[in-house]
């Protein structure tokens, strides 16, 4: 059995019922290979934790920022999306405690692992809420999630990649970037687009996607990495 006492110290929470914390780290795939395992998977805890997280973040933004609802919605999304939550989960080293199938355990760097980690941190929040109550859950969210808000506002990660790249390009070089379709492959029902991102005549990056819009977003994400010195 995994020793969860170190994880409790990392989380800053001492559980009355340690099985709630253990359950928060049980992925459905583990039970497929271990049907006799004593705990259910974490999806119900994730459902609960998602609601607690959204309420605490929303209340904090509402009470502390007079900005319009649309802006606050974007800020909240940047704090509770899979990229941010998986990063927080990795910082807390939740990955070491996940109960995963052998196949999932090998897939460490994948997009699927990012979502597993994001879901796990929501499940942990649900477990803290059930075990310790709203005040302790809110303290944890403040300590681990809301602390990222200044970084989100400074780097403008609440903007979608295309908007972020456009704003940076206009600020740094005074030019609005544009996108060109470089290639299309596949039948109409399963096309794959390759799109290039340009600033004037300068090729910056390219992206792939099943639609032109998706490929443009991918190119903008790549462009943000290429022009990382702008940020």
Q: Return the active site residues.
A: 50, 122
CB 153 within 8 A of CB 79: no
Please state, in angstroms and rounded to a whole number, the distance separating the CA atoms of residues 73 and 208.
28
Please state, in angstroms and rounded to a whole number, the distance separating the CA atoms of residues 219 and 122.
30
Please state, in angstroms and rounded to a whole number, the distance separating the CA atoms of residues 166 and 215.
16
Please state, in angstroms and rounded to a whole number, the distance separating the CA atoms of residues 11 and 94.
10
Please state, in angstroms and rounded to a whole number, the distance separating the CA atoms of residues 89 and 117.
6
């Amino acid at each position: 059995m995994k020793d969860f006492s170190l994880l409790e110290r990392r989380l800053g929470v001492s559980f009355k019922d340690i099985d709630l914390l253990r359950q928060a780290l049980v992925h459905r795939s583990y039970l497929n290979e271990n049907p006799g395992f004593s705990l259910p998977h974490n999806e119900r805890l994730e459902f609960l934790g998602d609601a607690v997280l959204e309420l605490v973040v929303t209340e904090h933004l509402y009470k502390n920022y007079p900005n319009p609802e649309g802006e606050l919605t974007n800020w909240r999304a940047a704090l509770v999306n899979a990229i941010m939550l998986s990063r927080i989960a990795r910082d807390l080293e939740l990955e070491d405690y996940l109960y995963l199938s052998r196949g999932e355990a090998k897939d460490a760097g994948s997009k699927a692992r990012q979502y597993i980690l994001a879901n796990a941190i929501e499940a942990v929040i649900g477990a803290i809420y059930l075990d310790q109550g709203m005040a302790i859950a809110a303290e944890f969210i403040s300590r681990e999630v809301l602390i990222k808000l200044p970084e989100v506002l400074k780097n403008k990660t609440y903007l979608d990649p295309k908007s972020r790249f456009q704003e940076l390009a206009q600020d740094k070089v005074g030019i609005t970037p544009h996108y060109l379709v470089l290639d299309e492959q596949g039948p109409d029902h399963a096309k794959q687009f390759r799109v290039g991102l340009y600033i004037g005549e300068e090729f910056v990056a390219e992206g792939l996607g099943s639609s032109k819009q998706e490929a443009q977003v991918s190119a903008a994400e790549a462009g943000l990495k290429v022009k990382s010195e702008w940020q």
